[in-house]
Amino acid sequence: MAALAVRALRRLGGLALLVAQLYGLAGRAGSLMTTKHSQPQSTFAKSLTSTSTNTPNFKTTESTEIPSYVSNCPSNGLCSRLPPDCMTCNTNYSCVYGKPATFDCKVKPHVHCVDQNNHEQENFTINMTCQFCWQLATTDYVCTNSTNCMTVSCPRQRYNATCTVLDHIHCLGNRVFPKMLYCNWTGGYKWSTALALSITLGGFGADRFYLGQWREGLGKLFSFGGLGIWTLIDVLLIGVGYVGPADGSLYI
């Protein structure tokens, strides 16, 4: 009986081994079939993605941007009156100071100008005096104004100003330069008004109040113009311009 049981177990083990081998073979065959069917799909998917990503390259026309300096350049104006930012010139620093000099210039792109005969040109010459920008006349540049310095003082005060050359003026060197200038700003006070108040109502300190000097005005008011002596002195001082506004500005 024991021998029969052992034989039955061996047969069952062999049968189980056979079933396991058949199951393994079936799994390999299935994987081979799935890979064969999946390869065309993957290649088809790749073709789809490649066709979707490879979009046709259309050449975009680049927009021509206008330079910023063009807005400062008058259109169809005289070439000799163009601002320096609108042209390029062959500057000759070896010219004789104070003597006339001629420079060859060319307009920058997108800039149009004409000559005296209203003919458009690109190359032209500029006649100017050989001098640096800081040596120009005061009418050829504008400077910043200071309201912090005293105009009525002895000696007369100066301040550091930043000056810029006018557009149609040509010169050598930097067009923006520092310069020491006399204080020449005004606060709106009129010399004629101050003198009239000093003559008529100077005994009550009206002239000093008008000029913003309220302490002196109070002194004249309560002393009745220094019994007339202070009034006469102020008439002379305001008349010659020695006494001015309290803020240090000039008369109009």
Regions of the chain short of the pLDDT cut 50: 32, 34-63
Domain regions of the chain by residue span: 71-130, 141-182, 191-240
Q: How far, in whole angstroms, is CA 122 from its chain's centroid? A: 28
Task: Please choose, from the candidates 99, 80, 79, 103, the residue with its C-alpha nearest in 3D space to the C-alpha of residue 90.
Answer: 103
> Tens digits of per-residue pLDDT, 41-72?
444 344 434 444 444 444 444 446 777 777 77
pTM over 0.85: no
Percent of the chain with pLDDT over 90: 20
- Asked if 234 contacts 211 with a C-beta cutoff of 8 angstroms, the reply is no
pLDDT of residue 19: 62
Show Cβ contacts of residue 124 under 8 Å, excluding neighbours closer than 6 positions: 79, 80, 105, 106, 107, 113, 115
pLDDT for res 45: 40
